[in-house]
Structure 1
Amino acid sequence: METKIYTLDQIDEAAAALKKGQLVAFPTETVYGLGADATNVEAVSHVYEAKGRPSDNPLIVTIADVATLEKFAQPLSDQVKLLIKTFWPGSLTIILPLKKDALSKTVTGGLDTAAFRMPANAATLSLIRTAGVPIVGPSANTSGKPSPTLAEHVYHDLKGKIAGILDDGPTDVGVESTIIDMSTDVPTILRPGAVTEDQLADVLGTVQGNKHKVGANETPKAPGMKYKHYAPDAQVEIVDHPSDFKAAVDWAGQQATKVGLMATDDILAKLDVPANVETYSLGADVAAASHLLFAGLRHFDLETEVATIFTQGFSNDGLGAAYMNRLNKSAGGVHFTNNKSVDK
Structure 2
Amino acid sequence: MTDPIRLAAEALAAGELILLPTETVYGLGADAATPEAVAKVFEAKGRPRFNPLIAHVADAAQAERIAVFDPSARRLAETFWPGPLTLVLPARADAGVCDLARAGLDSVAVRVPGHAKARAVIAAFGGAVVAPSANRSGRPSPTTFADAFEETGHAVAEAIDGGPCAVGLESTVVSVMDGRPALLRPGAVTREEIEALAGPLSGAGEGRRSPGRLALHYAPDAPVRIDAEAAGEGEILLGFGPGVGDPRWSLSETGDLREAAANLFRRLREADRERPAGIAVAPVPGEGLGEAINDRLRRAAGFVG
- TM-score surpassing 0.5? yes
Aligned to 1:297: 268
Q: Structure 1 210/309 Cα, relative in aligned 2: closer, same or farther at 3 Å?
A: farther
Q: Structure 1 184/315 Cα, relative in aligned 2: closer, same or farther at 3 Å?
A: farther
Q: Structure 1 164/307 Cα, relative in aligned 2: closer, same or farther at 3 Å?
A: farther
Aligned to 2:27: 33
Richer in strand (by share): 1
Aligned to 2:294: 324
Do the aligned partners of 2:216 and 2:303 also contact (CA within 8 Å) in 1? no
In the TM superposition, what are the counterparts of 1:1-344 in structure 2 within 5 Å? Answer: 9-74=3-68, 76-100=69-93, 102=95, 103-209=97-203, 220-239=208-227, 245=229, 248-249=230-231, 252=232, 255=233, 258-264=234-240, 266-268=242-244, 279-283=248-252, 284=254, 285-301=256-272, 303-333=273-303
Partners of 2:6 and 2:94 in 1: how far apart?
A: 30
Structure having the higher Rg: 1
Shift of 1:164: 2.7
Shift of 1:206: 2.9
Do the aligned partners of 1:192 and 1:325 also contact (CA within 8 Å) in 2? yes
1:271-295 CA-partner distances (Å, limit 9, x unpaired): 5x7xxxx951212222211110100
Q: Secondary structure at the match of 2:134?
A: coil
Runs of 5+ unmatched residues, structure 1 = 1-6, 215-219, 335-343
Q: Letter of the 2:216 partner, please give it.
A: K
Taking only aligned residues, the RMSD between alpha carbons, in angstroms, comes to 2.1
Q: Structure 1 83/185 Cα, relative in aligned 2: closer, same or farther at 3 Å?
A: closer
1:281-312 CA-partner distances (Å, limit 9, x unpaired): 212222211110100111122x3111211112
Runs of 5+ unmatched residues, structure 2 = none
Q: Structure 1 25/169 Cα, relative in aligned 2: closer, same or farther at 3 Å?
A: same
Partners of 2:128 and 2:179 in 1: how far apart?
A: 27
Do the aligned partners of 2:225 and 2:279 also contact (CA within 8 Å) in 1? yes
Do the aligned partners of 1:27 and 1:171 also contact (CA within 8 Å) in 2? yes
Q: Structure 1 299/209 Cα, relative in aligned 2: closer, same or farther at 3 Å?
A: farther
Shift of 1:101: 5.0
Partners of 1:81 and 1:210 in 2: how far apart?
A: 21
Percent sequence identity over aligned pairs: 40
1:134-186 CA-partner distances (Å, limit 9, x unpaired): 10021111000000100111111113222232111100111111000001342
Aligned to 1:340: none
Do the aligned partners of 1:36 and 1:135 also contact (CA within 8 Å) in 2? yes
Shift of 1:104: 1.9
Q: Letter of the 1:281 partner, please give it.
A: S
Q: Secondary structure at the match of 2:266?
A: helix
Q: Letter of the 1:83 partner, please give it.
A: L
TM-score normalised per structure 2: 0.93
Q: Secondary structure at the match of 1:190?
A: strand
TM-score normalised per structure 1: 0.83
Shift of 1:326: 0.3
Partners of 1:30 and 1:294 in 2: how far apart?
A: 11
Partners of 2:240 and 2:215 in 1: how far apart?
A: 29
Partners of 2:178 and 2:238 in 1: how far apart?
A: 38
Partners of 1:128 and 1:99 in 2: how far apart?
A: 20
Query: Aligned residues, how many?
Result: 302
Q: Letter of the 1:111 partner, please give it.
A: L
Q: Structure 1 8/94 Cα, relative in aligned 2: closer, same or farther at 3 Å?
A: farther
